[in-house]
Amino acid sequence: MRLPGLQRLILNDVLPGPDGAPTPCDGIAEDWFDSPEAMQAAFMSPEAQAVGADAATFLDLARLQTLIVSEQDVPLPVAP
């Protein structure tokens, strides 16, 4: 939460599917930044280095994936 430039943090717990089958992960974290460059700068900060040093205590680093996305807001039609 102390990463420089972090605009929003969302933690998503993954729920079992309708059939109860295991999921490929148990959670998804969304770190929101103004740009990929702002994210890169934040991840190079001392605050991020401290998180990285402790990451193995709360993450399965072998399964960790980082995805950089471009959000597209789709307006929904207004119901009559």
CA distance 12 to 6: 17
Domain range summary for the chain, segments of one domain joined by + = 1-13+25-58
Q: Residue 24: what pLDDT?
A: 87
Q: Residue 48: what pLDDT?
A: 95
Q: Residue 14: what pLDDT?
A: 94
Query: Can you tell me which residue has the tokens 């998180």?
Result: 51
Block means of pLDDT (10 residues each) for the chain, length 80 residues? 94 92 90 95 95 91 90 92
Q: Residue 3: what pLDDT?
A: 94
Task: Output the pTM of the full model.
Answer: 0.78
What's the gap between Cα 27 and its chain centre? Answer: 9
Q: Residue 80: what pLDDT?
A: 84
